[in-house]
Structure 1
Amino acid sequence: MAAEISIDELRALGMRGMCSVLALVLHDLTGWPLVGIAEAGDRPGAGVYHVACRAPDGLLVDAGGSRDEVIILSDFAMDGRNLALRDLDRDFVSASFRRDPVWYERYSEALPYLLPEDALAIPRPGL
C-alpha cells in the first residue's frame, strides 16, 4: 500500500489542506511537537492556517521539507497578516480530519518509506 502514495502526491496533499494529517503522522512516528501557524494574538487553536512538526534541530518539517520558522512564516504571511507559531496538541490537530480517517491510515503507511532513513532514528523528546 505504501507505493500507492508518491512523494510528490504526499507533498501536494500536505500543502493543500492535508497538512494536519501529514503533521500528525509525523508526530506519531517521531514524537516531535506539533506547531501551528496562526494569527498572532488569537485565542489558542483559533485561525490555524497550517500545521507542521518541530524537529529536534528546531526546524519546522512539513510537506515542503525542513525549513526555518522565519521562512515558513513568510510563506504564509499574506495580506499583511501578523502570524505566529503556536504549540498544538494532538487532539486539536486530529479533530480537523476526524470525518476522513482514511487519510491518516494512508499517510501512516506511506510516510515511513518516504522519510530520510535517519529521521525515525532521532530520539523522541522525553524518551
Structure 2
Amino acid sequence: MTPTQPEPTHTEDPAARAAEYEAAVLDLVTQIPEGRAMTYGLIAEIVAETLHRGGPRQVGRVLSHGPTVNSADVRVPWWRVVNAAGAPPTRLRETALELLRTEGCPLTPDGQRVRLRQAVWFPEQAAPDDSA
C-alpha cells in the first residue's frame, strides 16, 4: 500500500505556473523601499520559499520581459534589483543608476554599483523611519 501523495498547492499548467511566478516576483519587487535594493538571487530565494521553483535568471527574465506594473497596478521599481556585484542591468545601466542616485541609494565610490552591505533590503525589515 503506497501513501497518497498530497495535492500540489500550485497549478500544473505551464502558462499558469509562469504567471504565478511572475506575479510573485513583481509583488516582491514593488515592496522594495526607495533607497534600497535586492539582488536577483535574493528575490529568487524568497519566491522559492513559497513556490519551490525559479532562480536568479528567471527573476531577470520576469523583470526584462514582464509588465511595468504588478497585479495591483503598482509601478514595479525594476531599477532596485541588481546582480550579486551590485550592478544594474547592462542595457539600462545609466537609467537605473540615475534613479538609484535620485532615491539616495548608497553607491560605490565610482557610482557604478549599489553598495549592497548598506542598501540590501529584506521583506521582514520595516521601512526606515524618516522621523528619527
The answer, yes or no, to whether TM exceeds 0.5 is no
TM-score (norm 1): 0.30
In terms of Rg, which structure is larger?
A: 2
TM-score (norm 2): 0.30
Q: Larger % of strand: which?
A: 1
